[in-house]
């Protein structure tokens, strides 16, 4: 009976480094996946910011053709959208500085900032049509 316990103990002790190695490899794979996901999210957010920014630039050019009160009103809404754009760009930089493990905490704030920018752009755009 003692022999069986000793044999099991010896097997567990010899298998321990293999388990640790397997766990380490699993953690590395998870970190690589998180890093890849982070990079994809950054690219997606950057592309979204670039697209809305380009649309805002086009709207600014169109607003330049307006005069008087209409131009003043448009400028006010465009300035608000630009503030939101700067806030979203700042969040993107903050996101880039986060580790692969911690970036998801900032990603929700990043999404909100881009959504705010998009809403401000849409508001300015709707004022242009009036």
Domain parsing of the chain, residue ranges: 37-129
Q: How far is residue 47 from each of residues 40, 43, 114, 122, measured CA to CA in Å? A: 11, 6, 11, 17
Report the helix count and the strand count for the chain, using DSSP H and E. Answer: 3, 0
pLDDT surpassing 70 at residue 20: no
Average confidence score pLDDT of the chain: 82
pLDDT value at residue 94: 94
pLDDT value at residue 127: 81
pLDDT value at residue 21: 46
For residue range 65-105, list pLDDT tens digits in order: 988 888 888 999 999 999 999 999 999 999 999 988 888 88
């Amino acid at each position: 009976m003692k022999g069986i316990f000793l044999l099991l103990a010896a097997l567990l002790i010899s298998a321990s480094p293999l388990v640790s190695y397997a766990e380490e490899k699993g953690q590395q794979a998870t970190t690589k996946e998180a890093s890849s996901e982070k990079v994809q999210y950054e690219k997606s957010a950057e592309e979204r910011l670039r697209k809305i920014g380009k649309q805002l630039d086009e709207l600014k050019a169109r607003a330049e053709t307006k005069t008087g009160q209409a131009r003043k009103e448009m400028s006010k809404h465009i300035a608000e959208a630009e503030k939101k754009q700067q806030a979203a760009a700042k969040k993107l930089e903050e996101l880039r500085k986060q580790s692969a493990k911690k970036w998801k905490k900032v990603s929700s704030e990043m999404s909100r900032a881009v959504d705010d920018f998009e809403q401000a752009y849409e508001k300015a755009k709707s004022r242009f049509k009036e």
